[in-house]
Structure 1
């Protein structure tokens, strides 16, 4: 049942978010090409408006992108819960499989490893979509890829880069639209730093619990010790990786303008 539910959630993750997000004011944006073109046009208009507030066209795109990330985050979080439950069942079955043949034990172990990898991928997906929902405008910026026919967009991006450069090198006052971009870019990295910190704490706690159980398990139960030790080490290693991500995003959030300039210089 859990395996079937996981398959259904994977399918829903691929198909459902764009449909759910397109309800209401987001109608017509479910197609990626249409969304990209709408954002490029709205971005040019926003920069030329000279104001802080999003014009209706850009507001519509940003609202759609927010709903899209919320839908993906909810589905991915549900999938993560299902995969964790399935993984626990598989590893418990593996630990009780002493009377089974080597082939059955290998199948259970392989399935457990596969589910653990999928759970890790789901966790990363949840983190990325929470970040996108927290700062949807910043997460739309990679869509500003310039082609030979995008003369207006290319000119707009040149102006953005120039104003960012002047602000950093000479301390010039940034236009309101650029201030919004910079603050949203900072929020984008703050969101990942906060989510990453929470995940790192959970992973550290899991590692501590697993190593304590490892220490209490008798040396004769080698299979249980191997499983506990492997997941304890994996949790500790992942917590270190996540902490590096937290530090990097915290640093960027504290001083977002240079990173934003690097982004517009070709970082997407």
Structure 2
């Protein structure tokens, strides 16, 4: 394994991993026009939510606009960092895989070390992929992503009264004669967009993983039975990609249901059961 390349990739991966947790907030706060950060975001959103609901308009109120804009930039920054980290980890994984397959002359300890490194890189790559997808989803529908910061079980105060009004409106049958309040209409639309984004991303990733699995199983079938290391590695990767694609297919189907009929899912969220 080329030592300098390996060292550079490891250092870059560590730097990106740290940046993934400390960078997005700082980048999102740049030019936000308000003193927003991860520490006060939830409280700011709750105040803006009450303001937005009481305004009765579909367009965001100034306070909500600032919060949503900050959260959009946060997700974009985190998605970009996670995507770069994923590319670095995939490259590192390819190097480790090649080294492991050529490790016939190494001792047992070195082979175990390479295998452990391969497992670690694979797990980190899965984490980076999930983070990338989740933040793309959040960037597509930042308002719906912010809803998770609402304390749906609140019982006192102006926020609790607002949440009760939202629940009552969602519980009313659609088309019952009353027009849906514009803020609620926006919530329903963004909630649908949020789940549609995950449905599309999940389906695309499932197709990619199925293709990777087919390549891996083809390599497994074409490898001589005497080459146990290659066959085991190809088989393990084939199983991992098949299982991952099945999970993603389920995720895509569930999110498609919420995207096509978002109102029940949103109502369940505000009731605390979603």
Distance across 2 between alignment mates of 1:18 and 1:62: 13
Q: Are positions 1:6 and 2:13 aligned together?
A: yes
Per the alignment, do residues 148 and 228 of structure 1 end up closer, same or farther by CA in structure 2, a change over 3 Å counting? closer
Match of 2:24 in 1: 17
Q: What TM-score do the two structures reach when normalised by structure 2? A: 0.94
Q: Are positions 1:239 and 2:245 aligned together?
A: yes
Q: Are positions 1:207 and 2:213 aligned together?
A: yes
Match of 2:85 in 1: 79
> Following TM superposition, by how much is the alpha carbon of 1:256 offset from its aligned partner in structure 2, in angstroms?
0.3
Distance across 2 between alignment mates of 1:47 and 1:236: 45
Q: Map of 1:184-263 to 2, 5 A cutoff?
A: 184-263=190-269
Distance across 1 between alignment mates of 2:156 and 2:70: 23
Match of 2:76 in 1: 70
Distance across 1 between alignment mates of 2:247 and 2:168: 35
Per the alignment, do residues 125 and 148 of structure 1 end up closer, same or farther by CA in structure 2, a change over 3 Å counting? closer
User: Could you give the per-residue CA deviations for residues 62-116 of structure 1, whole angstroms, max 9, x where no partner exists?
Assistant: 0000000000000000001111111111111011000111110000001100110
Q: What TM-score do the two structures reach when normalised by structure 1? A: 0.96
> Following TM superposition, by how much is the alpha carbon of 1:182 offset from its aligned partner in structure 2, in angstroms?
0.1
Q: Answer yes or no: is the 8 Å Cα contact 1:193–1:250 preserved in 2.
A: yes
Q: Answer yes or no: is the 8 Å Cα contact 1:26–1:61 preserved in 2.
A: no
Which structure: greater helix fraction?
A: 1
Q: Answer yes or no: is the 8 Å Cα contact 1:190–1:250 preserved in 2.
A: yes
> Structure 1: any 5+ residue segments left out of the alignment?
none
> Following TM superposition, by how much is the alpha carbon of 1:229 offset from its aligned partner in structure 2, in angstroms?
0.7
Distance across 1 between alignment mates of 2:206 and 2:154: 44
**Which 4+ runs in 1 deviate beyond 2 A?**
146-150, 167-173
Match of 1:96 in 2: 102
Q: Answer yes or no: is the 8 Å Cα contact 2:20–2:81 preserved in 1.
A: yes
> Structure 2: any 5+ residue segments left out of the alignment?
1-7
> Following TM superposition, by how much is the alpha carbon of 1:21 offset from its aligned partner in structure 2, in angstroms?
0.3
SS in 1 for 2:37: coil
Distance across 1 between alignment mates of 2:170 and 2:153: 22
Distance across 2 between alignment mates of 1:213 and 1:242: 24
